[in-house]
Amino acid sequence: MTITGAWQRTARGAGLLAADGSVTASIFAEMSALAGRTGSINLGQGFPDEDGPAEVLDAARQAISDGVNQYPPGRGDPILLDAISRHQQRFYGLAVDPATEILVTAGATEALAATILALLEPGDEVVTFEPFYDAYGGLIALGGGIHRTVPLHAPSFQPDESELRAAITDRTRLILINNPHNPTGTVFSAETLALIVDLAHRHNALIVTDEVYEHLTFGVPHIPLTTLPGAAERTITISSAGKTFNTTGWKIGWLSAPAPIVTAILAVKQFLSYVNGAPFQPAIARGLDLPDTFYSGIAADLAAKRDLLATGLRAAGFEITVPQGSYFIVADAQSLGYAEGAEFCRALPELAGVVGVPLSAFTSPDHRHRYASLVRFAYCKRVEVLEQAARQLAALSAR
């Protein structure tokens, strides 16, 4: 029996629909399975291997003991809504109404899904940078949108202004950016962000900004796009607790936007997860109120891990791009004689006992050639794991 439906365009948009119509495993699943079979160090998937701060974990346990185990309010627990509002004011000087301008979601992915499904009409165009987080392609397709991309140019992974101007037109409904950027680790300049705001006004587009790595930048400030002149009225800002507090499995995310936009998104979100994570919401509120030393500390710790892995990659003979933020570093397998990053990643467990992910997994067929030899490695792991990976990768230079 042939199963038709929206799943096909969703899988196609995410690059998971094979020519025969079957669904293929994502490269992340393939590489994680390869790591498991070979006993290799998995630097392919972007999740930490250490728990978050004790204050946050203890608050979740206390909430469970206190009976916070049933449905929370549809917009989110008021304790968390208030904490998000305080966070936006404290770090960015933004006044966000917790009652009308914030929505708690099942992770940033549900925030993205609800936003895209709520605001797209079939045939609307959505512009993203490329490489792009794979969920973007699937969700745009699920919403009936047309995905347009603007390539990021190595080694800095910044966009070309003329290409950005050409991609955003009167057909553009949403401009979706990820800053700091996954998979490249770049942080976009204030000039690029300002141009996006200008083009959004010129073409009457809305901006969706995915800022889940907002507290994980190194030597450069995070600039929320909504703080720029003219941006707040048309910007949906998305973030989550997973990357900041090492709680990716809790799936507590949120978005903020002008009240009418939040209401429109809630109309869709309530029929997705409805609500989620009741005892985790006050725990994340506790985390958002942690002192500044916590936030500076997590960035400093991650920067040290980045540098540790970068040293190992250079010793192995890779040319690398040192990231300004996020969990990820990009290395060029061409330096070791591999023109195809996917081929290299499949060979790497045998060569060095390490797993990475080809950057081509984050690209469309039209632009895949631009990134064919590039590989993404995650450094959000324990120091001893990264030290071992660096030693094993360095052995590649002897081959």
Q: For residue 238, what are the β-bridge partners?
A: 210, 255
Angle between helices 383-394 and 292-316 (to 10 degrees): 10
Give 140-204 as a DSSP string: HHHTT-EEEEEEEETTTTEE-HHHHHHH--TTEEEEEEESS-TTT-----HHHHHHHHHHHHHHT
Q: Residue 379 is encoded by which pair of tokens?
A: 């450094």
- Please report which confidence band the pLDDT of residue 344 belongs to, taking 50, 70 and 90 as the band edges: very high
The residue with tokens 């607790």 is 241
CA–CA–CA angle 27, 28, 30 (5° rounding)? 60
Residue 389 pLDDT > 70, yes or no?
Answer: yes
Q: What is the pLDDT of residues 294-311, one digit of tens each?
A: 999 999 999 999 999 999
Q: What integer is the mean pLDDT of 33-46?
A: 92
Nearest Cα residue to 151 out of 322, 330, 365, 370 = 370
**Residue 73 and residue 68: Cα distance in Å, rounded?**
12
**What pLDDT is stored for residue 28 in this prediction?**
83
CB 161 within 8 A of CB 195: yes
Q: For residue 210, what are the β-bridge partners?
A: 178, 238
**CB contact burial 202-216 (16+ within 10 A = b; e otherwise):** ebebbbbbbbbbbbb
Q: Residue 378 is encoded by which pair of tokens?
A: 């995650």
**What pLDDT is stored for residue 398 in this prediction?**
60
Burial of 28 (0-12, 13-18, 19+ CB in 10 A): middle
Residues 6+ away with beta carbon under 8 Å from 134? 14, 15, 26, 361, 362
Residues 6+ away with beta carbon under 8 Å from 104? 72, 75, 76, 77, 80, 81, 84, 252, 253, 254, 275, 276, 281
**What pLDDT is stored for residue 31 in this prediction?**
86
Residues 6+ away with beta carbon under 8 Å from 341? 333, 358, 359, 360, 371, 372, 373, 374, 375
Nearest Cα residue to 93 out of 234, 223, 238 = 223
Residue 193 pLDDT > 90, yes or no?
Answer: yes
**Residue 68 and residue 79: Cα distance in Å, rounded?**
12
Residue 399 pLDDT > 80, yes or no?
Answer: no
Q: What integer is the mean pLDDT of 155-183?
A: 97
Q: What is the pLDDT of residues 110-143, one digit of tens each?
A: 999 999 999 999 999 999 999 999 999 999 999 9
Q: For residue 207, what are the β-bridge partners?
A: 175, 235
Give 91-133 as a DSSP string: HH-----TTTSEEEESHHHHHHHHHHHHH--TT-EEEEEES--
Q: What integer is the mean pLDDT of 223-235?
A: 98
Tell me how far apart the terminal alpha carbons of the chain are, to the nearest angstrom. Answer: 51
**Residue 276 and residue 388: Cα distance in Å, rounded?**
38
Phi, psi at 236, each rounded to 5°: -105, 115
CB 64 within 8 A of CB 58: no
- Please report which confidence band the pLDDT of residue 340 belongs to, taking 50, 70 and 90 as the band edges: very high
CB 224 within 8 A of CB 209: yes
**What pLDDT is stored for residue 1 in this prediction?**
74
Nearest Cα residue to 222 out of 177, 170, 268 = 177
Mean pLDDT of the chain: 96
**Residue 308 and residue 355: Cα distance in Å, rounded?**
17
Give, in order, the Cα–Cα distances in Å from 214 to each of 91, 106, 223.
Answer: 10, 18, 8
State pTM to two decimals. Answer: 0.96
**Residue 12 and residue 48: Cα distance in Å, rounded?**
29
| 96 CB neighbour count, 10 Å cutoff | 21
Q: What is the pLDDT of residues 236-249, one digit of tens each?
A: 999 999 999 999 99
Give, in order, the Cα–Cα distances in Å from 399 to each of 113, 351, 358, 396.
Answer: 45, 9, 21, 5
Helix H or strand E encompassing 272? none
Q: What is the pLDDT of residues 17-31, one digit of tens each?
A: 888 888 888 888 888
